[in-house]
Amino acid sequence: MLPLSFDLFCRVIDNYGDIGVCWRLAKQLVQPPFSAQVRLWVDDLPRFCALAPGIDPALAQQQHAQVQVVRWEASSVTNSSYPEPHTVVLEAFACAPPAGFVRCMRPDTLWINLEYLSAQDWVAGCHGLPSPQANGLKKWFFFPGFTSHTGGLLREIGLHQRRNTWQTDPQARWRLLHQLGLPETALHALQHGALQVLLFCYPHAPTATLLHALQARGKPVVVLACPGSIDTTCQFLARKGLVQLCPIPFVAQETFDLLLWGSDLNCVRGEDSLVRALWAARPLLWHIYPQADAAHLDKLDAWLARAPYPAPVHALIRAWNTPPHTAFAQHLQHCLTPATFSHWRTAAQQWDDTLSQHQDLASALVAFCTEKQKTR
């Protein structure tokens, strides 16, 4: 049996989720216990570079964090010059590897489509199913998910231990906040117990309502706003009062994870930051990626059905995602009362604990590929 090695194809549709997931997976596969060779094909290196600043967007090929990174351009490689495919070809989110590359695949090449994350029940039924292709190969569906009947969630080996160490080191958080260049007033407020809120959401989120509701809470709050999450109205709203709004730059992915570990409330979006906020084991507000015909609301409900959060938090997250967001402010007031917030925090810790009992995605993927290799 050939050792597992991977060609991982990533097409950046929009935003950062596609490359965010692929980069985490690639980095994990090259590390022990897998120690696999990984060639990551990415069609948008400038976007990649935002979350992995060591990437040089000008290079057609480069080695970074032990991963071979190839700029995927329709014109960059002619059919005849495609490298020999690795034993596993992973296409992220049905991004379709180039036809010339597919022609180079051997009958024993394992071809896998890594799907988007969803908590919906049908996922378990589709995970691991084959789809026969025109060239005689089978493409296998690999679905991430929240149960042991799916491919699981990305979680690096030792992640929880690193997080616990970081969260219990009193200096770690302050070093990070200093590095971010937060104003002295914000640092001072945080040192005196202000609530730290990380805000990473789509522009249509009711952020002005969020700021009003935080203001009405009557206690200091520092909001770390990721690029694109706030508009000028918000900046105006937060100019006076107990809420300090601090726009922060786009940071490297490892730093982003630390921000989640260090915040009291994480407002996250898409899929990758949702998973990372779950691993922060802190209260989170999920702004789901919007889809046509409001299909995302079914996804949201399926996820909420698994979430052990108190009932007011379910109502809050639904209101955050459902225009006209009328009840959002009221739900937030309720969820931030000491009793409910403490219940929310305990539930977040419990869910982190339960989810981390499942096999992680990279391990599940390697086990799946090993099994398929044996049975062919």
Q: Could you give the residue numbers annotated as active site?
A: 18, 271
CA distance 303 to 305: 5
Nearest residue to the partner ligand TRH, using Cβ: 17
Q: Rule CB under 6 A: is residue 8 a binding residue for ligand TRH?
A: no
**Span interacting with ligand TRH, options 237-245, 267-275, 319-327, 330-338, rule CB under 6 A:** 267-275
Looking at the Cβ atoms of 139 and 299, the one nearer to ligand TRH is 299
The least CB distance from residue 272 to ligand TRH, in Å, is: 4
* Dihedral-angle region of residue 245 (phi above 0 means left; psi in -120 to 50 means alpha; beta otherwise): beta
| Of positions 4, 7, 11, 18, contacts ligand TRH by CB under 6 A | 18
Two structure tokens written together for 369: 């590929």
Q: Rule CB under 6 A: is residue 43 a binding residue for ligand TRH?
A: no
Query: In the stretch 183-222, what mask flags binding to ligand TRH with x, by CB under 6 A?
Result: -----------------x----------------------
In 308-325, which positions are buried (b, 16+ CB within 10 angstroms) versus exposed (e)? Answer: ebbebbbbbbbbbbeeeb
Whole-number Cα distances in Å, 338 to 120, 331, 343: 32, 14, 9
The least CB distance from residue 140 to ligand TRH, in Å, is: 21
Q: Rule CB under 6 A: is residue 20 a binding residue for ligand TRH?
A: yes
**Span interacting with ligand TRH, options 7-15, 136-144, 181-189, 236-244, rule CB under 6 A:** 7-15
Whole-number Cα distances in Å, 236 to 18, 132, 226: 33, 56, 17
Q: Rule CB under 6 A: is residue 147 a binding residue for ligand TRH?
A: no
Query: In the stretch 291-330, what mask flags binding to ligand TRH with x, by CB under 6 A?
Result: ----------------------------------------
| Of positions 90, 251, 265, 332, contacts ligand TRH by CB under 6 A | 251
Looking at the Cβ atoms of 201 and 221, the one nearer to ligand TRH is 201
Q: By CB under 6 A, how many residues form the interface with ligand TRH?
A: 20
Sheet strands side by side (includes 221-225): 243-247, 221-225, 195-199, 265-269, 284-287
Q: Is 299 helix (H, G, I), strand (E, B) or coil?
A: helix
Burial of 106 (0-12, 13-18, 19+ CB in 10 A): exposed
Q: Rule CB under 6 A: is residue 250 a binding residue for ligand TRH?
A: yes
267: closest CA among 299, 302, 221, 236? 221
The least CB distance from residue 372 to ligand TRH, in Å, is: 27
CB < 8 Å & 24+ apart, contacts of 268-272: 268/198, 268/200, 268/201, 269/200, 269/201, 269/202, 269/205, 270/15, 270/16, 270/17, 270/20, 271/17, 271/21, 271/116, 271/117, 272/16, 272/17, 272/20, 272/21, 272/24, 272/154
The least CB distance from residue 136 to ligand TRH, in Å, is: 31
Looking at the Cβ atoms of 186 and 329, the one nearer to ligand TRH is 186
Looking at the Cβ atoms of 256 and 279, the one nearer to ligand TRH is 256
**Residues near ligand TRH (CB under 6 A):** 13-18, 20, 51, 200, 226, 250-251, 253, 256, 269-273, 289
